[in-house]
Structures are given as C-alpha cells and as structure tokens.
Structure 1
Amino acid sequence: MKPSDREWIEKRAYSLWEEEGKPHGKDDAHWDQAYAEFLALSQSAERAKSSTRKRVNQAAKTRQSPEAEMADVPADPKPAAAPKRKRKTS
C-alpha cells in the first residue's frame, strides 16, 4: 500500500470517529470501514479507467488514419459562390 493510500484511510477513519462522536475503543471498526471504502473506491476507479480505455481503443480502430482522411478532401476545393445581390432600381 502506498503511503498516500494509507494517509487517505487514516483521514477517513478519523472522520468516521468524529462523526460518531469520538467514541473510545472503536478505532479498529473505523479503520476497517475506512479500508473497505478505500477498496470500493479503488475498484470503481479501476473499472472506470478500463471502460475509458476500451472506448478510446475502439474509437482509434474505427477512425481512419490522417492520410486516409486527407484523401477524401479535394486537392483544390472551389470557394463557395457569394450570394447574388439584387440591385435597387430607382
């Protein structure tokens, strides 16, 4: 476990202890709850990362290469014609 992970668990356990009114002798229960929350959040984040990676990989497979995309563009595109204006007659 990384030091930052342990620090998160310590802070969460302390927060749980404060929320319960600072009871004496429940440090193990608060630590266990904080650790369980940490694991749940870590797993959720990992699933989200995995899902994002899959979507990015799928998009990369379906997208054409830049050279293929440029082949669809005409070499010298014609500019769009300006709309004709009516002349006022007096």
Structure 2
Amino acid sequence: KIRKMQQGYWAPEVFREEKGHEEKSFVYTFGVFIIHLISEQLPFNQYDYPQLLYNVGSGNLLHQVPAGCPSPLDEIISECCRFNPEKRPTFR
C-alpha cells in the first residue's frame, strides 16, 4: 500500500529511470503533494504500477490542477508538474 501511494508522486523521469533530474523530480513531487492536500485523494491511486509506468513515463497521464484550486496554487502546481523536468522551477 505504501509503495503504491508513493508511485503516484513519482515524476515521469523516475518511471523512465533517468538520472540527473533528482532536484527537478522533488519539485514535481512537491506539486503532486499540493494536489493531494487540496483534493484529499491519493494521486493516481486507481492505477497499478504497469499502467503508471507506461502512462506517466510517456506523458499520457499528467497530474491536473484540482477544480476550485486557489489561483496562486494552480500556477505552482502547473509549473511543478510539467512533464519536462528542465521546464520546472527550482526550490532556490
């Protein structure tokens, strides 16, 4: 159960086992954490690992800003959860 919960937070590059994006992967996870707090639902909990591996890793399944999300947070989520790690902000 815990591993399944964690997989919903993984960035696409983590599923693809790419190296060199560790900081940007944490930024992605931060965006997903905000989604979890607002929606009160585990991210992508309805999918199993093979589905997540293929769909998140390929960009077919992306996190969405929850309906009713306050304006400042929707921009943060959108920026943090970009598919391309190089286009995500940093924590600096």
Do both proteins adopt the same fold according to a TM-score greater than 0.5, normalized to the shorter chain? no
Structure with the larger RCO, 1 or 2 (CA within 8 Å, 6+ apart): 2
Bigger-Rg structure (1/2): 1
TM-score by length of 2: 0.30
TM-score by length of 1: 0.30
